[in-house]
Structure 1
Amino acid sequence: MPVEQGPRAAWWPHPGDGSPSDYQLRSPEGLAPLATGTAGQAASAGGGVPGGSADVLDNNYESLHILNVERNGNIIYTYKDNKGNVFFGLYDCQTKQNEHLYTFEKDLQVVSCSVNSERTLLAASLVQSTKERRKNELEPGSKCLTLLVEIHPVNNVKVLKAVDSCVWVQFLYPHVDRHPLPESHLLLISEEKYIEQFLIQVIQEDGNRTVIKNSDRLPRQRVAEDFVWAQWDMAEQRLYYIDPKKSRSILKCIQFCADENFTLMFEAPLDILLSNSGFKLVNFGCGYLQDQENLPKYPTLCVFTNHTGSLCVCYSPKFDSWEQVTYSVFYFHKGYSKTFTAALGSAHSHVIKGITFLNLDYYVAVYLPGHFFHLLNIQHPDLICHSLFLTGNSQVIDMLPHSPSQSFSGSLVLDWCSGKLYRAFLNQPYLLEFLWNTRLDWEKMALLHCTLACGQDPQFLEAQIIQWISENISACYLFDPIQEFIIASSYWSIYPETSNMDKLLPYSSVLTWNTEIPGITLVTEEITLPLMKVHSFKNYWEKLNANLEYVKYSKPHLHYKNSVVRREWHSLISEEKTGKRRSKVYVKNILDNAVKVISNLEAKTLVSEPRLAPLFQEEDNHQRLLVGLMVSELKDHLLRHLQGVEKKKIEQMVLDYSSKLLDLICQILETSWRKHNLHPWVLHFNRRASAAEFAVFHIMTRILEATSSLFLPLPPGFHTLHTILGVHCLPLHNLLHYIDNGVLRLTETAVTRLMEDLDNTEKNEKLKFSIVVRLPPHIGQKICRLWDHPMSSNIISRNHVKQLLRNYKKQPWSSMIDKSSFSVEFLPLNYFIKTLTDIESSNQALHAFLGHDNVDAKFVEEAALKHTMMLLGL
């Protein structure tokens, strides 16, 4: 009976092919096996074991099976010796030891068993074995006997129930520090559809001897009655049960608290009918199904929660068709349900095993052995592409166990056929391997999100995903992998800070998904929200209530959008071009935000490997404005909607989020840079482009495309590096086309390098001129002074004349021109220069054009003559 940890290459563990002689008790964490016979030795030493021996467990593996897993992780098991005596044992997951609890000297079948946290009391529900029942079938007697045993040391036995119906038992495990002998609470669940709670006090006698106080009058309380289905959540000490009504079923939840009280927390209507499906219990011990072949004939119902305040009810009705299977998931924390219909492929592929629902934290796995495996995203179930759907044709299905399983709290899974207990988890290496191998876009999307959500080492996973993106940059048709990675990874980097992040920050770049997934049909319906029956909430209940309040009152999505940042950024850039700018304090605050983000990013970079890509080497004011504006708007957005969270914490979250976003862009570029072994000399123009530079230029273009449509900031220096690579890699007409369409954005740093590094050959002159005429005026004036060429002088002259004549008022015409002041007899030019000279002579004009580096009418005249001679080829 091994307890093993999950698979090397699948989502949950494969039982393996171990023979019964290999069965050993292991901890639920999959630690090294204990020596066989430990439990047998404990049984021999514990007393009340006639004929017990050290090897009793060694010889009875086939009869050994798990009865229960308590809240503290301890496993209760049972086995029989060759005389039919029933032994109860406990495996302590802390000490890794087996302990004998009790022995019944009679051949009995155990229905249920539980031990209290102090290990002073054992509750067991038993029925006579098949052989004994045949002997006594004519004698009247009780079918089921429920006993309470004093086991510290073994003392008295009290009969709690002796009835003709089955009874299940379960001790409560409150999380409190108490004195050694507290009052124990025991739940009794009867097949007659009621649940009682027994309050049991124990006292010490004769030193260490523990006995039940007032064993003849144990107080009891009725917890629930007239139910048809019930589920026990051991980890959270919650009881879910169904109260059947005429047209629908009502799901109710009782919370057992640390003060040993219990409270009805909510009532939730379910559009399912269970009144005719018989009586069923979930997670009240590890009972084996008597007729597993009839599983598809009965409905399956499970309730799953997690720490984020989610509440999911998974339901599979009995199978009416061998061609398709239908199941529903009620996402109460989202306000809707989804009904999935999965085609089974062949009409002859009969379903002989039932559906298994497994709780995997942010996901619910839905598994039909041999047919399909679905991994449903319960945190973001809006789009079907965020969940994974594998059919029986997938190799993964063959790797998973083909026997029905049962899910317990804490991701424990019991294989009913083998009796093995597993810890199920999502295997990161296999998820990454699957991401590399799949060709379907919806599987890529689902795997990308699943890997980020369930990853234990974010830096490693991000590096692996970036490697995949760099190799598959053009392999996705239905979504942009760069966009999806940047948005999802930035979101998950701060998601643990508060449970409301899924409502306030975007987690996906995809807003709608209209592509059908073969073999799956989906129907989404709104559902009635649970009615909370209490008014003060803590921990999980506070988060669930917040989710329900959001569904009730916040139908419009509150996700942060960059539309406000886009408008404000364009406004600031427009003001800069016209020479106007709003208050210096406002702009300074925005730039200070950017400085904090970049400083935070550079501080984190110092810890990791130094970057090779030459970013952050310049003051890119436009990108700094964009970073600062995003920080400002995002902070205001979170402050409006995150009530009760400190302002400093929100500011730090925004800083981390913005830094993470820039860091991911840097990582993508850095990975490509290292892969192609580029060096800093790529920034110089005196060399030809290589294939590596073409590859990096392509990656940068895809990054720019991804961020532009989402209006996300880029690291300062990105546009400079992109433009320089573009000059290297593109023919002139393509380069100019990229510039004119905004793919390449000219920066002062990039153009300065171009002017300084390139000589004045005919080809380079054409390139320089084409670049200079496309520069904004405030940059063009600076750049032209670096280029000692007639074309540069011509451009400078044109800008100078444009400024002088902007407000020029024409004076009365005079035919008299003093020719003595001109060296060339070219009347139109002479008249024009005279006009410029007159304008420059005014004090107002001189004041307006101070600092123009000796650009005057004389300079304009010389530039005009040189340009004319150049055009005439003189």
Structure 2
Amino acid sequence: MLLRLVPEFELRRDVLPWLAERGCAAALDTSENSSALYVVNVERNGKIIYTWKGNQRNTHIGLYDLQTKQNEHLYMFEKNLNIISCSINNERTLLAVSFCQYTEEERAAQLLQSVSKYLTLLIEIHPINNVRVLKAVDSCVRVQFLYPVEGRNASRESRLLLVSEDKYIEQFDIHVVAEEEHKVVIQKSGQLPRAKVADDLVWAQWDMMEQRLFYIVPKESKSTLRCVQFYPEENFNSILESHLDIAVNDTQLKLVNFGYDYCQDQDVASKSLKNLQVFTSKAGGLCVCCSLVSDIPHEIIYSIYFLHKGYNKTFTVSLERAESHQLKEVAFMNLDYYVAAYLPGQFLHLLNIQHPDMLCYSLFLTGEDARIDALQNCSIRCPWVSAALDCSAGSLYHVSISDSALLQLLHKSKRDCERLAALHCALLYFQHTEDLEMQIIRWISENLSTCHSFDPIQEFIIASLYCRLCPETENLDKLLPYTSLHDWIGAVPGVRCATDIISLPVLEFQNSKGFWEKLNSNLESVKYAEPHLHYHSKVLRREWHSLSEEREERRTTAYLRNIFENAKKVLSHLDTWDSGARLVPLFEEEDYQQQLLMGLMVAQLKDHLMRHLQYVGKKKIDQIVLDYVANLLNLVHRIMKEVWRRYQLHSCIFCFDERGSAAEFAVFHIMSRILEAANGMCMPLPPGFHTLHLGLGVRCLPLHTLLHYIDSGILQLTETCVRKLLKDLDDTEQNEKLKFSIVMRLPEALGQKVRQYWNHPINANFIARKYVKLLLEKLGNRQCSRPVPERLSFPVEFLPLNYLTNMLAEIENQGVHPYEKQDHVNARFVEETALKHTMTLLGLKYS
């Protein structure tokens, strides 16, 4: 199963044995009391409040501590009551309880019209002392104590929220005093001070971890979502307002996370298919999830309002086989980076909160892959991130994505959309783990040819860099790319998606840190995202090609010296991470082209970040950029190392006197795909990559294929590999053909360096021609007073003379380009080589 649910609390496991010790369990075993034990509330500090009916039909309230794993009896009512809501303050001195005193039948039978149906009490429980009535009304009331931040000293003031079914919320300020014998009692100051928090609301949700109240007020055809933030030392502020195109039924107030009235929740679930919840994430994400009613049978509709992105996505899922009575509302779970939309027995949809723009980053599963054994119904609430409370079963689970199940899905999936979503989930949700990274690399090496709509190497490198560096610096996630894809035109089978632009929320806060600051930053990036903020390699590619084509003598400019200094910093930074013996022979040679690209990437990425992160400081940005490029090279090396280990290759493969193995050919193919991925993103490769790639090509490819790869640019001739090839291979007929083909394709500058390592007449012919051309160029550069003789109109049958004549004509037509530096050439050697070559062509014997 993709979602792993670990039970942190279960009524039957954690409470029933304790009740049995107290002699209370017998009353819970009868069928008529099957619902007598249920969870009432979950507090911020992990305290779970539950209620049960005793042997004498008394109503008890208990507390389970998730940290100590201990139960505690809080209070007992000497009558059979239906507990609606219950909350305990942080100091565990006050207990607020709301309950129904009798049913409608009892009211009619006993003529209790003058007695209020619902009662809300405030009870002193340290020790049990005094009881105060807060509300005595005919409408249901929910209670919830506010909690201070963790680590704060005990307070003499508690604040309590009362949520009335009459669609208003108010706050009570309760002052307590400590008396003798450690008694804590409510200060006798008459009526408790109170303040109106919200009114005219039709829906409300309590965020207990962050002490926020979200609520919806109907506005004509639309609804307005508002949020009130409660502060530890201050009062409260209305901080957010957002207009949503959601028609919320205003006949009954709907509440989320304000306790769990078992009877009422069961009744609401049976009558309505609508479920609406608000989820927040640490990175400043704000989502409104809503399960909608569909008029078409076997069709499920739900919407996710990505308020931090400025758009809404509505998903329509067509169910293949489902009985009408089995259809229930979609349940939502908050996994921080993802929101899970779940319909038991049908589907599981993991929606990427940070990057919801394309469906290929969200994982949609059906059938066995979507099964969650622990959750067989939709009465699910999320009291905090990565937690799920099954209200009907009374079980609290820690919810997480299973890395083993995700990797298994990655291996067995046949669709690109599932592969890409699983790959991103593995990298971004689990952040950076060595073992997971190794398994992903193994999957990539096995599936290079099966992914058609994306390059798995590109996605692995870009997403890995993103998740490694972005958590370290604020707003860096808006500037670094998270994917190599610019768009995706695929579809998820069985799912239709409609995207609508919505208005951005309005925030009103001052000096607020944490979530609100991050949300505001996300909203600002949406407003000013044109041109797009993410770094792109277009300019880098153009500059790299321009500098690569310049001549050698222009490489000493201050600009280029700075570029190569950047590259040196990257390589020195990299050496500190991988100082041990390297399995793959990389980083061991000078590579002008790759170092040029490294230095350019450092320069351009630094400029990009400086434009948007000036407040971070130049020194920090320099470090970020060096880490980014060095991590990039390290990831390529990591891929190579895992591939090298998998195919059990030796540390060095530069032996050209034998053909390569099947394992070497497989590694050569993977290196070709790495090169293709690097070229597509214009990213540098470790120095020595092209040498290693060429060495494997020489060993594994037939000559015509090898030359085709060289001519098409897949293989690049490097000095290290060509020099070793010319020196180590003997001059058999096949090797001469190989060497000659290589020498013919060498660039001019490289040819001058390595041709001298091949002591062969063919190579000597090249050297001689080059030397003669040099002499003629120098001669043509002198001022000569002699008249230039007319060219002969007929060919001369003396081949050296023909060659000299053609060379002179070429110099005359093209102009003179003398070289400043030339290697020393023995004149006698040139003469002998030219004579030998001429006599060979004439068929004469040379002695």
Task: Report the TM-score when normalising by structure 1.
Answer: 0.89
In the other structure, the counterpart of 1:259 is 233
Indicate how the Cα distance of structure 1 residues 400 and 77 shifts in structure 2: closer, same or farther if over 3 A, else same.
Answer: closer
The alpha carbon displacement at 1:78 in A equals 1.7
Amino acid at match of 1:453: L
1:481 aligns with 2:456: yes
Match of 2:190 among 206, 209, 216: 216
Query: Is 1:11 paired with 2:11?
Result: no
The alpha-carbon deviation at position 352 of structure 1 amounts to 3.5
Could you tell me which amino acid in structure 2 is paired with residue 797 of structure 1?
A: A
Cα deviation per residue 1:397-442 (whole Å; 9 max; x = unaligned)? 3646221122221322111331211111111111111111111110
Aligned to 2:577: 604
List alignment gaps of at least 5 residues for structure 1: 1-8, 26-34, 41-52, 816-824, 838-844
Matching of residue 538 in structure 1 with residue 498 in structure 2: no
Aligned to 1:360: 335
**Deviation for aligned residue 1:123:** 0.4
Shift of 1:572: 2.1
- 1 CA distance for matches of 2:406 and 2:267? 32
Q: Is the 8 A contact 1:804 1:836 kept in 2?
A: no
Deviations 1:232-280 (A, max 9, x none): 0001100000010112100000000121310000110001111446320
Q: Deviations over 1:809-831 (max 9, x none)?
A: 6763689xxxxxxxxx9966369
Q: State the partner residue of 1:284.
A: 258
In 2 relative to 1, CA 56–769 (structure 1 residues): closer, same or farther, beyond 3 Å?
same
Q: Following the alignment from structure 1 to structure 2, what is the Cα–Cα distance between the partners of residues 516 and 756?
A: 56
Q: Which moved more, 1:115-124 or 1:860-869?
A: 860-869
- Larger displacement relative to structure 2 (743-752 or 446-455): 446-455
Return the offset for 1:510.
1.3
Is the counterpart of residue 863 in structure 1 residue 836 in structure 2?
no
Whether the 8 Å contact between 1:109 and 1:126 is mirrored in structure 2 is yes
CA distance in 1, matches of 2:489, 2:805: 70
Distance (Å, rounded) in 2 between the aligned partners of 1:540 and 1:385: 27
Deviations 1:149-190 (A, max 9, x none): 000011000000011010000000121655534210000000
CA shift for structure 1 position 379: 0.3
Asked if structure 1 preserves the Cα contact closer than 8 Å seen for 2:121 and 2:132, the reply is: yes
Partner of 1:70: 43
Question: Matches of residues 466-477 of structure 1 in structure 2 within 5 Å?
Answer: 466-477=441-452
In the alignment, the residues of structure 2 paired with residue 521 and residue 755 of structure 1 have an alpha-carbon distance, to the nearest angstrom, of 61
Q: Is 1:639 aligned to 2:627, yes or no?
A: no
Distance 1:784 1:726, change over 3 A: same
Say if 1:294 and 1:281 are closer, same or farther in 2 by CA, change over 3 A: closer
Within 2, Cα distance between the matches of 1:648 and 1:704? Answer: 32
1:191 equivalent to 2:165? Answer yes
| Cross-structure match for 1:343 | 318
Query: Amino acid of the residue matched to residue 602 of structure 1?
Result: D
User: Distance in 2 between the 1:692 and 1:769 partners?
Assistant: 28
Larger CA deviation: 636-645 vs 275-284: 275-284
Secondary structure of the equivalent of 1:113?
strand
Give the residue type in structure 2 aligned to 1:719: H
Kept in 1, the 8 Å contact 2:216–2:224? The answer is yes
1:429 aligns with 404
Structure 1 residues 710 and 832, CA, compared in 2 at 3 Å: closer, same or farther? closer
SS at match of 2:97: strand
Counterpart amino acid of residue 133 in structure 1 = E
| Partners of 1:184 and 1:335 in 2: CA distance | 38
C-alpha distance in structure 2 between counterparts of 1:449 and 1:306, whole Å: 18
Quote the residue 1:128 is aligned against. 101
| Alignment pair present for 1:734 and 2:723 | no
SS for the counterpart of 1:593 is helix
Q: 1:235 aligns with which of 200, 206, 209?
A: 209
Distance (whole Å) between structure 2 residues aligned to residue 329 and residue 524 of structure 1: 10
> Residue 693 of structure 1: CA displacement?
0.8
Distance in 2 (CA, whole Å) between partners of 1:260 and 1:831 is 99
Corresponding residue for 1:49? Answer: none
Deviations 1:464-514 (A, max 9, x none): 100111122211111111111111111111121234233211111111111
Quick check: 1:331 aligned with 2:317? no
Letter in 2 for 1:13: L
- Does the alignment pair 1:117 with 2:117? no
8 A contact 2:3–2:372 mirrored in 1: no
SS of 1:235 mapped into structure 2 = coil
Tell me whether 220-229 or 473-482 shows the greater mean CA deviation. 473-482
In 2: Cα distance, 1:398 partner to 1:202 partner: 46
Answer whether contact 1:385 1:442 (CA < 8 A) is retained.
Answer: yes
- Would the aligned equivalents of 2:771 and 2:825 in 1 still touch at CA under 8 Å? no
Q: Name the counterpart of 1:91.
A: 64
Q: CA deviation at 1:646?
A: 2.7
Q: Structure 1 counterpart of 2:277, which letter? A: C
Q: Which moves more between the two structures, 705-714 or 70-79?
A: 70-79
* 1:756 counterpart = 2:727: yes
Q: Mind listing any 5+ residue stretches in structure 2 that lack a counterpart? A: 790-795, 809-815
Would you say 1:796 and 2:788 are equivalent positions? no
**Letter aligned with residue 209 of structure 1:** K
Partner of 1:613: 584
Partner Cα distance (1:625, 1:147) in 2: 75
In 1, distance between residues paired with 2:410 and 2:199? 49
8 Å contact from structure 2 (residues 7, 398) kept in 1: no
Moved more, 766-775 or 178-187: 178-187
TM-score w.r.t. the length of structure 2 is 0.92
- Counting only pairs closer than 5 Å after superposition, residues 827-846 of structure 1 correspond to structure 2 as 829=800
The percentage of counterpart residues that share the same residue type is: 51
For residue 480 of structure 1, what is the amino acid of its counterpart? D
Q: CA deviation at 1:297?
A: 3.0
Q: Distance in 1 between matches of 2:826 and 2:232?
A: 85
What residue identity is the alignment partner of 2:227?
Answer: C
Distance 1:846 1:384, change over 3 A: closer
Structure 2 vs 1, CA of residues 398 and 154 (structure 1 numbering), >3 Å: closer, same or farther? closer
Using the alignment, how far apart are the partners of 1:225 and 1:653 within structure 2? 49
After superposition, residues 416-815 of structure 1 pair within 5 angstroms as: 416-455=391-430, 458-577=433-552, 579-581=553-555, 583=557, 585-606=558-579, 610-806=581-777, 808=780, 812=786
CA contact (8 A) 1:14 1:399 kept: no
Amino acid at match of 1:124: V
Distance 1:652 1:575 in 2: 30
Contact kept? 1:107, 1:132, Cα under 8 Å: no
Q: Match for 2:76 among 92, 95, 103?
A: 103
> Would the alpha carbon gap of residues 796 and 136 (structure 1) be closer, same or farther in structure 2, given more than 3 Å must change?
farther
Aligned length: 822
